[in-house]
Amino acid sequence: MHSYTTPLTIVAADDHAMFRNGFVLLVKKHIAVKEVFHAANGIEALEALHKNPVDLVFLDHQMPLMDGVECMHIIRKQFPKVKVIVVSMLTAVSDIKKMIKAGAHGYMVKSMDGADLGEAVKTVMTNKHYYDRHTLQALLDEKIKPSDLKEDEHPADLTAREIEVLREITNGKSSKEIGEELHMAKVTVDVHRKNILKKSNSSGIADAIRFALRNGIVSIKEFLEG
């Protein structure tokens, strides 16, 4: 009998296909599933969320192209109604804290059993947070209460013009093209680019694009279809 009986549309995001496939089978034994979308990295998870009405994401911590922490930040900003349970091999307090502060609704180690999984889903789908016993013990050993870990905020203190430039950057436009689009000199665009990188603490354009996604300056839809 399913621990959670309302059928859910889920995303299983893990770069190891063998684990992911086995995990989905375990999920189906303990909760009612309407549809499952597989993702091998954070980008594929976001694409699935963009294209489908997803209820719940099971998210790995370490993945290529975009890891779980970065993906979690963007999900929280772009898809605030979607619940996320982290399923990870990482048990260090520093790793757990990153995910909780990024906005995860639950955290479980990959050695969990089915009963724990069902309880986790039931808990997060009723707007509560779930941490398995391994996670709670790791936090308690460091005298940390999950409720003390406030979610990170990433204020975008960019000017209106810098936001316009950043939106064009996410579309892959060069400084010359941005200048023509926004009616400004190329040198002015370059100054805005420099300020954007500094204010967003970005080492390059890829980081700036992540900043834009994380802060809702561009939506996943705009980014994927731009």
pLDDT-derived band at 5 (thresholds 50, 70, 90) equals confident
State which of 128, 148, 168 marks the end of a domain.
148
Binned at pLDDT 50, 70 and 90, residue 153 comes out as low
Same domain, yes or no: 129 and 172:
no
Question: Is the pLDDT score of 8 beyond 60?
Answer: yes
Spatial separation of the C-alpha atoms in residues 67 and 63, rounded to whole Å: 5
Q: Provide the residue range defining the domain that includes 173.
A: 160-225
pTM over 0.85: no
Judgement on whether residues 112 and 41 belong to the same structural domain of the protein:
yes
Query: What is the total residue count of the chain?
Result: 226
| Cβ contacts of 209 within 8 Å, gap of 6 or more | 169, 170, 223
Whether 211 is in a domain gets the answer yes
What burial class does residue 181 get, using C-beta atoms within 10 Å of its C-beta: 0-12 exposed, 13-18 middle, 19+ buried?
A: middle
Pairing label, strands 31-39, 4-13: parallel
* Residue 216 located in a structural domain: yes
Do residues 19 and 84 both lie within one domain? yes
Give domain status of residue 201, yes or no: yes
The owner of tokens 């954007």 is 196
Q: Are residues 75 and 137 in the same domain?
A: yes
In this predicted model, what pLDDT tens digit does every residue of 87-99 receive, in sequence order? 999 999 999 999 9
| pLDDT for residue 4 | 78
**155 found inside a domain:** no
For residues 140 and 210, state if they share a domain.
no
The answer on 170 and 60 residing in a single domain is no
For residues 21 and 133, membership in a common domain is answered with yes
Q: Given 148, 182, 216, which residue is the final one in a domain?
A: 148
Assess whether 22 and 113 both reside in one domain: yes
Do 101 and 135 belong together in one domain?
A: yes
Q: Is residue 154 part of a domain?
A: no
On whether both 103 and 207 belong to a single domain, the answer is: no
In a domain, 54, yes or no: yes
Question: How far are the Cα atoms of 15, 45, 58, 61, 144 from residue 12, in angstroms, in the given order?
Answer: 10, 8, 5, 12, 29
User: Based on the domain organization, do 88 and 178 belong to the same domain?
Assistant: no
Q: Judge whether 140 lies within some domain.
A: yes
Find residue 57's DSSP bridge partners.
Answer: 11, 84
CATH number at residue 200: 1.10.10.10
Among 18-22, 59-63, 136-140, where is mean pLDDT lowest? 136-140
Q: Are 2 and 32 a contacting pair, CB within 8 Å?
A: yes
pLDDT top residue among 72 and 146: 72
- CB hemisphere CA count around 45 (13 angstroms): 35
Q: What is the mean pLDDT of residues 50-76?
A: 95
Q: Is the confidence at residue 152, as pLDDT, over 60?
A: no
Residue 116 shares a structural domain with residue 213: no
What confidence score (pLDDT) does residue 112 get? 85
pLDDT level of residue 26 (50, 70, 90 thresholds): very high
Q: What is the mean pLDDT of the chain?
A: 90
Residue entry with tokens 């689009």 = 181
Number of domains in the chain: 2
In a domain, 153, yes or no: no
Domain CATH code at residue 34: 3.40.50.2300
Closest listed residue to residue 72, CA positions, set 81, 64, 61: 61
Pairwise CA distance, residues 39 & 58, whole Å: 10
Summarize pLDDT for 98-131 with one digit per residue, the tens.
999 899 999 999 988 888 999 999 999 999 999 9
Q: What is the DSSP string of 174-223?
A: -HHHHHHHHT--HHHHHHHHHHHHHHTT-SSHHHHHHHHHHTTSS-HHHH
